[in-house]
Amino acid sequence: MTDTPPPADDPAPPPPLSIGKRLQAWVLHSLDFMRLLTERLMGFLRLFATLGLFLIVLFVVAKAVDSANLVLVKAFTVPQSMSASHTDAGRIIANALKQELLLAENDIYATVKRTSRNSNGKVNIEAVTGNNEDYLLGSSIKLPETGISINDVVEFIGSIFGRRNITGSIYQDQGKLFLQVELDGRIFHFERKLDDHDPKALNMDLIRDMLREARTQLLSVASESHNLYYYCTGEAASLEHPDSQLSEWFDYCSRLQSSQVTPETLETLLRDLHSAHARQLANGNDTLRHILGQTIGSALDKTRLLCPDYPTTKVVKHQRCRKWRKCR
């Protein structure tokens, strides 16, 4: 029979840590916790910054797309002699032009709406004048570590999507005040005599008069539908968009305004204007219906001059027309 070895003695418990050791361990544990918390917080901040940058990009792209078909009026260049007493003269002139453009657009809208047979009809003519204040919201917000404002980015991307700017300048020479405006490479010049006006003053009355004259030409360049409206009403002399989707309408009005118009060409034009095709082109568009009615009215007026009995016969009687030409 073997002897059973005596049980081993239990290991002695470690001696209690001193206060210094316990304090050191607590500090190390706290540092590890703070390091982990800092890493998590930095990860959250990076995620937040990425999300914020993504939202900024969405904002910029949305602004650029919304303004793709708009024109914005930039501050005008003003001579130092005039801007000395008006530090914001260039922006004042730009705002005045913007108001003139908006008034012209509203006039078209009101005219088409007034002549529409359908009180709930749609005035299909796009707005082209942008509101500058909408694009100044980000002028003081800079993208991190770039120094570039959100407004600068909107301007750049907007130009890619096709947004255009109206720029201009004002100057004086030989007793006259000159205004120059540019859009899409087209430059328009206007002038007024200063007469008794102070040459060092801003003379906004003369400037507004020139801006009012410029608005029809600028809107015609900016938009094919505005060009069509003004061309067919005789307010614009040139075709700015002859190859656009509205080319057939430009052709109708060109034939009416031709210096080579004859009773026969007028009769053909009236037949085309009264056709089902012309009515179909204008279907659902109060602006085109307005232009169609106005063009028919102008063609009838010309035909009555050439052939007085046309309203009754609805045909050109060449003998009467030739007699009229002899009596001219």
pLDDT in tens, 154-197: 667 666 766 788 999 999 888 899 999 999 889 999 999 998 88
Residues with Cβ within 8 Å of 136's Cβ and at least 6 positions away in sequence, in order, are 151
pLDDT of residue 145: 57
- What integer is the mean pLDDT of 272-291? 89
The predicted-structure confidence for 208-233, as pLDDT tens digits, reads as follows 999 999 999 999 998 898 999 999 98
Q: Is the pLDDT of residue 74 over 70?
A: yes
Instruction: Report long-range pairs for 8-11 (Cβ below 8 Å, ≥24 apart).
Output: none
Beta partners for residue 182, in sequence order: 167, 187
The pLDDT score that the predictor gives to residue 143 is: 58
Q: How far is CA 168 from CA 78, 94, 220, in A?
A: 9, 8, 17
Cβ atoms of 118 and 286 closer than 8 Å: yes
- Residue carrying the six token digits 């982990």: 36
Q: How far apart are CA 78 and CA 82, in angstroms?
A: 7
Contact 184, 241 (CB under 8 A): no
CA distance 226 to 303: 27
pLDDT single digits (tens) 89-123: 888 999 999 999 999 999 998 888 887 766 555 66
Q: Which of 136, 141, 149, 128 is nearest to 66 (CA)?
A: 128
- Measured in whole angstroms, the distance separating CA 127 from the mean position of its chain's CA atoms is 7
Is 0.85 surpassed by the pTM of this model?
A: no
Identity of the residue numbered 68? A
pLDDT at 136 over 60: no
Q: What gap in Å lies between CA 229 and CA 215, rounded to an integer?
A: 13
Q: How far is CA 96 from CA 137, 209, 215, 218, 300, in A?
A: 20, 10, 11, 14, 39
pLDDT exceeds cutoff 60 at 22: yes
Worst-scoring range by mean pLDDT, 39-48, 157-166, 247-256, 316-325? Answer: 316-325
Q: What is the distance between the alpha carbons of residues 237 and 316, in angstroms, rounded to a whole number?
A: 29
* Beta bridge partner(s), residue 192: 177
Helix H or strand E encompassing 290? helix 286-306
